[in-house]
Amino acid sequence: MRNRQKMVFLSADHLDIQAASRTSEAALLPPGEARDHALKSAAQLRTYAAMKRALSPSPAALVQTAKR
């Protein structure tokens, strides 16, 4: 049997929280590679959250689909 790691799917809200955490972490770091990495990671997380929101159906659309 293969060892498989559990897949974790984060909501857009969780991704926004992680992005805010990385941004505040970057604010504490001195200018340099670590700070740049934290800021880049925060930007990527915000972009991923925005994509998840854009691609996921709205709750109203789900309710209308369920009524059919």
The residues near 12 (Cβ < 8 Å, ≥ 6 apart) are 49, 50, 52, 53, 56
Question: 0.85 cut: is pTM over it?
Answer: no
Identify each DSSP E strand in 1-68 by its residue range: none
Q: Where are the domains of the chain?
A: 12-67
Measured over the CA atoms of residue 43, residue 48, residue 54 and residue 57, the dihedral's sign is: negative
CB atoms inside a 10 Å sphere around CB 14: 14
Classified as helix, coil or strand, 64 is helix
Q: And the tokens for 48?
A: 């991923």
Residuewise pLDDT in 10s, the chain (68 residues): 677 777 778 999 999 999 999 999 999 999 999 999 999 999 999 999 999 999 987 777 666 666 66
